[in-house]
Structure 1
């Protein structure tokens, strides 16, 4: 899964070839020739995510642990950690309720206000220059800034977190340092809110009726998971949607000042260019059959949301416009899906970010040919490395 076709090639064509050769469940190898199963089928993914007893999120069930070195590069994705991502059973349900309730109380009008202010401030930094990279200068900053604010950070502290969050999601040499900085900042925020509560996510995480069941380390980890995993897919959702609107005539009206098709473009991206492509994963708790394959107990299943979204069994016409259909797998499914309030927050940030940008720069256009746009080399996430654009210079308006 770390070959060039998975990381930078035409993955849509690759998924089709895998499905034609192997069916809805294909054998793959990970770093170090570690075997796994790539689940391509929409129905199979529904089966897996709907049966946590047979397909567990607890990686301790893996039958490969005796072959995995402690410094395996994918250890952060599969090694059990004290966050909600690896919790199972009734305890996961109560922990998920805590997180969902804390996020559900985010005021949508307040969220919109934060988005607009930060979007304007970011655009102010480049609007007079006629050129910009909308990934580096906009999409990779806006979600982190807004999420930091609703979690409880002040403007200055939130801005200081952006490089650390991007270092973590980028897996750069500064990732460990970035995690330490974010962990320290989150810990400081939680301690301050324990003394002086506020109307923010950090306060609600600590005062929820279920919070007494979980350690301060677990609450902190869940805060970090939600801000990091909330930032990167939302950033890619923004840039992937902008790319679509800049290259597809169906969405030209949005660039002319209309907003009606922004939501349609965002929905289309979740079907065709979903930021979360493949997820590791689930582990079988006993031998079973899946998609015509015999899966041994303890095998690792990598869930391909992108392949499932293009499954011809549920989308026989791959060229048809998806419209308002939201039956995609982009946010997962089942007990470990992205919480609905988190999905609504991500959508609010992405849509407002796109609307503000198009309002401020109505004649924005690509500065390179579409084929020259570089995608980040990753088999798991799908987003642009850069989105260079040109536009008529405008004056700053004075944002956050």
Structure 2
């Protein structure tokens, strides 16, 4: 078994990471030694059964980042700190009974979102975004559509004004990309959340932030602000990439041609196939070993960081054959995680409504839409964490805008 660590970066993630994960599994097995930015060591779990074991055993594989045995080696400006923070008072790093109470509070706040309001907001914002480009006959459905829709819907549901949306998009992307702007992006989000909570504490409204403030459990404003940041980050970029990756699939795969020309029958199938084959959230940090333990034939030390290889596990040949049609109505993928720290079901439902609405509005309004560039020329962001297109250029017959702005 190869013991040389694999850099978790590079052009392979921009081109075909599925092939990269297969090579990792072939060379290293189901648990791969990897290096993060700055040559920081970690383990990437790409085996389906091993990932199920890690996410289902919070005693051995904890979410408590204070356990990490690498903290003394990291610089203060390490770009992945926003993603792997120490002593962050968010639900991501809360464990035990406190986590269960906190997760219930978040689920309740999201579950109270009106399904009718959610769908109406998504449709109206989608129409407004298409109104800005529909008369031109060409658009980039990533920068001009998918990257704008989820955060605009979520920001309004959470309690932000529409005007704050563009700056939130920029800050979120900077933080998630884990590059030199990551810390500044995190800072902007923190200031924005603190301001929102101060406003809602003084004047509650019918929004997620107000419901979280009113919940029992003694949660501080800082805890709620951190959770709102997590919810916005986890809800925006993966949903934007879900829209972009699904539209790419439907525009490049003949199986979905009927949907592009007058039907919605295959939208759900395309979205589910993306969660298996091209999931927006490729890898997640992480869990920490609470003791020395063996996993997938590897000897992990107490305090080692374990990264969740969601896409690698989805493609594990132990549970499927490469190229098989293990998609359709099968939802046993890891794209929303697993165990007590998986994405809450109300959050999954909100993301699905936004993504599906966004796709359906495009198909309804631009029925002759087609790629404006060769499929092979489409490129991805070079991130090991999230997989999304840099652009999706399309062309279509120009149409007049419908008009109307969400109030």
Report the TM-score, using the length of structure 2 for normalisation: 0.93
**Number of the residue aligned with 1:60:** 66
Equivalent runs, 1:62-211 vs 2, <5 Å = 62-80=68-86, 81-158=88-165, 161-171=168-178, 175-210=182-217
User: Matched residue pairs, number?
Assistant: 398
1:58–1:86 contact (8 Å) kept in structure 2: yes
Q: Is the 8 A contact 1:144 1:227 kept in 2?
A: yes
The answer to whether the Cα contact below 8 Å between 2:378 and 2:391 also exists between their aligned partners in 1 is yes
Residue 306 (1) aligns with residue 311 (2) = yes
Judged with a 3 Å threshold, the aligned counterparts in structure 2 of structure 1 residues 160 and 279 are, in CA distance, closer, same or farther, namely closer
Q: Following TM superposition, by how much is the alpha carbon of 1:21 offset from its aligned partner in structure 2, in angstroms?
A: 1.9
In the other structure, the counterpart of 1:333 is 338
Q: Are 2:55 and 1:49 equivalent residues in the alignment?
A: yes
What is the aligned counterpart of 1:14 among 5, 16, 20? 20
Q: Deviations over 1:27-70 (max 9, x none)?
A: 12222222211101111111000111100111211122232222
Quickly say closer, same or farther: Cα 1:322–1:354, change in 2 above 3 A. Answer: same
Rounded Cα–Cα distance in structure 1 between residues aligned with 2:395 and 2:84: 41
Please tell me whether residue 358 in structure 1 is matched to residue 378 in structure 2: no
- Would the alpha carbon gap of residues 133 and 38 (structure 1) be closer, same or farther in structure 2, given more than 3 Å must change? same
Q: How does 1:221-240 map to 2 (within 5 A)?
A: 221-240=226-245
Structure 2 CA distance for aligned equivalents of residues 112 and 173 of structure 1: 36
Relative to 1, partners in 2 of residues 1:102 and 1:271: Cα closer, same or farther, differing over 3 Å? same
Matches for 1:25-44 after TM superposition, within 5 Å: 25-44=31-50
- Give the deviation of 1:291 after TM superposition: 1.0
Spell out structure 1 runs of 4+ moving beyond 6 A.
none
Listed as ranges, the gaps of 5+ residues in structure 2 are 1-6
Write out per-residue CA displacement over residues 245-279 of structure 1, whole angstroms, 9 at most, x where no aligned residue.
Answer: 00011111210121111000000000000000011
- Judged with a 3 Å threshold, the aligned counterparts in structure 2 of structure 1 residues 268 and 28 are, in CA distance, closer, same or farther, namely same
| In structure 2, distance between residues paired with 1:64 and 1:174 | 23
**Cα drift, residue 100 of structure 1:** 1.0
Following superposition of structure 1 onto structure 2, how do residues 364-383 of structure 1 map, counting pairs within 5 Å?
A: 364-383=369-388
Q: What is the RMSD computed on CA atoms of the aligned residues?
A: 1.7
Change (3 A) 1:232 1:204: same
* TM-score, normalised relative to structure 1: 0.95
How far does residue 177 in structure 1 lie from its aligned partner after superposition?
4.5
Gaps of 5+ in 1: none
Pairing partner for 1:268 from 273, 277, 281: 273
